[in-house]
Amino acid sequence: MAAQAIKSAQRAFEILEYFDRARQPLALKDIAAQLGYPPSSGSALLKSMVSLGYLEYDQTSRTYFPTMRIAALGSWVREALFGEGEITQLMTHLHRVSGETVILATQSDLYAQYIHLMHSQEPLHFAVPPGTRRPLASSGMGWLFLSTHTDKEIERLRRRINAEPGQKTKFSRDDIMKQVNLVRVRGYAFSKGAVSRDAGIIAMLLPEGRHGRTLAIGVGGPVRRLAANEKMIVSEMREAIEKFVSHP
């Protein structure tokens, strides 16, 4: 029963994300075909979402569409994450001066999770969506967030990572601490091909966010472009953080 409930929850969010991409009324057959659901279970889930007030159903066209309840549900999140626009200004500035993808991320348990992106128009741009997760132990954003923890806390996280079901790579303490200490010395992370070949990220922590959340900003792109512009990107990032989001 628990597994079934989790599957239903996953499907409900997949349906809402599909509406976000399609941005138009959708029929059961469209949703079932796109997401690979059996029509019977897809129909039952859609009817449940209608009865809960999250979708509306048009009998004439036999299509579904999200209600304003969906919009209202998360209306407070943008302000909670971005304040009065300071972080948006920061991201816009870095996007303009670097020409690369700019990423806002936070730590989510054993992962760094991307919560907002401004994509580059340059070749080999990052096309990942918000919600993308990167492992703490093997990504630039991950090493950056690990650097905020004590060595003892990092060791506990390392043991949990290695014990995760399906975790093939076993990370040693020395390997992780080598990356973490480099971040601590530099004051920023620079990963080169850690997740995707030839792609990297330069990332830096932001001052403590609302609700005590730890946030980080990153500029991602081809390693060759980041390496060529590393000094400029780091300088702009530090100045912009001080200008837009630092607090007295």
Enter the pTM of the model: 0.74
* Same domain, yes or no: 82 and 61: no
Residue 172 vs residues 90, 134, 169: alpha-carbon distances, Å: 36, 18, 10
Give the percent of the chain with pLDDT over 90: 48
Q: Can you read off the two tokens belonging to residue 113?
A: 């999770």
Does the pLDDT value for residue 17 go beyond 60? yes
**Of the residues 26, 41, 72, the one at which a domain ends:** 72
172 and 108 both lie in a single domain: yes
Average pLDDT over residues 57-84: 76
Decide which of 22, 57, 72 is a domain's last residue: 72
Res 239: pLDDT: 94
Question: pLDDT value at position 2?
Answer: 39
Assess whether 56 and 110 both reside in one domain: no
User: Are residue 174 and residue 137 in the same domain, yes or no?
Assistant: yes
Bridge partner residues of 191 (DSSP): 201
Check whether residue 226 and residue 130 sit in a common domain: yes
Domain boundary among the residues 72, 107, 134 is at: 72
The C-alpha R_g of the chain, in whole angstroms, comes to 21
Tens digits of residue pLDDT in 134-148? 999 999 999 999 999
- Angstrom distances, CA of residue 216 to CA of 2, 31, 110, 143, 184: 34, 35, 15, 11, 14
Whether the Cβ atoms of residue 139 and residue 112 lie closer than 8 Å to each other: yes
Distance CA 224, CA 239 (A): 23
For the segment 178-193, what is each residue's pLDDT rounded down to a tens digit?
A: 999 999 999 999 999 9
Domain holding 25, by residue range, is 2-72
Residue in the block written with tokens 């070749």: 123
